[in-house]
Copies of this chain bind each other. A is one copy, B any other.
Amino acid sequence: MSQSRLTELTWREVRRAGERGIALLPVGSQEQHAGHLPMGTDTLLVEEVVDRALALLDREPAPPEVVRLPALPFGHSPHHLFAAAVSLSAATLGAVLDDVLDSLVTSGYRRVMVVNGHGGNDEIMRLAVKRFALRARVTVAACSYWTLTADEDGDEAGRPDVTPGHAGWFETSLMLAAHPELVHTPVPARAPVQPPPLFDHPPHPGLTVERHGEWERVDGATDDASGADADRGGRLLDGRARGLARAIRAFDAASR
């Protein structure tokens, strides 16, 4: 099998894999996901998508060699500190990514992929991979798992208006498929908050708007999760896993 976990390899195996392989780092978070989902939702889901994608690749002929690092279980969630998040500052998360990426290049890796499970990590991850590619002779990819879909997925891509949202229909469906025992059911219905939060509904397309206290005002979620569905969640997860598997293949081909 060409997919391995760095934590289980000896250092010589890690070094050897670095000659041709891709190091893959999942990044998650520990933050509030309303009253029905657990704190680790983002970490659990990114790991689930990675698990499924690597399993898909493993069934193919000549899969790219991937060394999976342990997921970073903490992310950048200052907007959820009002509700018990465990959050790294942007500077700290950026430093963690720098240190991990620098370690990998020191160990001989020339291809790295960061797979993210939490929206708040997005810009920090992208800045980190950009500066990494400037200071080291590497090719590096970054993505957030929910943005990856396979072309044929069609109507399984989810409801675009709630993808991914936060602690709503999309994430709840995925968790019902992946970790049903961690979802408090039945999930209560939730009326839309008026006005909707500016971070989710900017007043003009192309504008990013942030208002102090907005997450508290909308009670920490973006949409109604009561219609979440395990079957649909499973298909959505599989779609993302297929998308990630293809992205890994494409990255492998482009960066060899």
* Best-buried of A38, A79, A144, A204 by chain B (most CB within 10 Å): A204
A234 at interface by CB-CB < 8 Å = no
Residues on the B chain within 8 Å of A227, using CB: none
A74 at interface by CB-CB < 8 Å = yes
A123 at interface by CB-CB < 8 Å = yes
Cβ of A7 and Cβ of B208 under 8 Å apart? no
Known: A6-B39, A11-B83, A38-B9. A74 touches B90 (CB 8 A): no
Cβ of A212 and Cβ of B8 under 8 Å apart? no
Classify chain A: how many residues form its interface, as a range: 35 or more
Known: A7-B44, A14-B39. A250 touches B204 (CB 8 A): yes
Within the assembled complex, what's the spacing in Å between the Cα atoms of A130 and B208?
9
Residue of B nearest to A110 (CB): B212
Within the assembled complex, what's the spacing in Å between the Cα atoms of A143 and B209?
9
Which residue of the partner chain, among B78, B84, B91, B243, contacts A95 with CB atoms under 8 Å? B91
Cβ of B107 and Cβ of A147 under 8 Å apart? no
Cβ of B12 and Cβ of A149 under 8 Å apart? no
A33 at interface by CB-CB < 8 Å = yes
Residues on the B chain within 8 Å of A95, using CB: 88-89, 91-92, 95
A56 at interface by CB-CB < 8 Å = no
Return 6 A-B CB contacts under 8 Å, by A number: A10-B36, A10-B39, A74-B99, A81-B106, A88-B100, A140-B211
